[in-house]
Amino acid sequence: MVAVANVIMNRYAQARDSISKARQFGSTVADICQKPYQFSAWNVNNPNLNRMLNVTESNQQFAQALSIAAKALAGNLSDITNGADHYHTGGVSPSWSRGRQTVANIGSHKFFYLA
């Protein structure tokens, strides 16, 4: 969760500094998270979307996610991704990542800096 928050905040930092990056990623943290096909949890066809939209703070993982998000938004979350602005699970090989250097491997995910 920390690494995904890092990617979101790295995109946000780039969007604040560049109009073209704001167009690419979105100009707010919410825009970045919900941009179609960027973070699969928000995809309309994702089978977990409805569960995610109905989760409450009584869910331990959601409470942890809220804590991580609060730290990220306050600028108090260390970047464990080495500045990554993209990632994917190791089980896939999307065309955008082919030939790109991985900047971090965290769990089963590969992280990239494409900017």
* Mean pLDDT along residues 75-97: 96
Q: 36-52: per-residue pLDDT in tens?
A: 999 988 998 999 899 99
DSSP annotation of 75 reads T
Radius of gyration of the chain from Cα atoms? Answer: 14
Q: Which position has the token pair 């704001």?
A: 22
What does pTM read for this prediction?
Answer: 0.93
Residue 96 has pLDDT above 90, yes or no: yes
Domain ranges within the chain, ordered by starting residue: 2-80
**pLDDT in the model for residue 20:** 94
Q: What are phi and psi of 55, to 5 degrees?
A: -70, 150
Q: Where are the alpha helices (DSSP H) in the chain?
A: 2-17, 19-25, 29-34, 49-53, 60-73
